[in-house]
Chain A
């Protein structure tokens, strides 16, 4: 089953620019997490925001959560070529088990 929908599906920017990715979900959540995946590799956890939080920062990452709109955004500031990857939002549902349900992902390409 798919919970989240990210947009845009693909994003191409220049180094130094900011990248914003959005995620929408369908049901009530416990928390929302963002992961990064380099091509052909596993996923790396970036940041977790709980359902009672509205904004969270970690280095160049800023995540917002709007539970009334069932949406979240991930902002990467001052992007670098090394940020090129796919980014996924994932949720833990209240009523489901402890597995993460992933969105479709945004593929970010940062050119130098």
Chain B
């Protein structure tokens, strides 16, 4: 498909386990964003990639969270030693470039449940 693809769509894990969430952006999009959507909350910015570089990691809530992007395409968000408060929908978006008015296209998200 031509849209942003995220996998898995749902992930249930036990507290203390590590999880990896994957994002395949739209082909040719250089900018990639991760957001977190908690119940009753808006979209919380986590991290931004321009190519393979992450100039802004300011939204990562703790050092248990990390992300990488390889080949200017696929990105992986890793959460180590998951906690119950990490339960949320993790959304990935991509845009053609980093211009603020470039439309951000979102994937359907990964719903993470930490038991």
* A, B in one complex: no
Chain B residues proximal to chain A, CB less than 8 Å? none
Chain A residues proximal to chain B, CB less than 8 Å? none
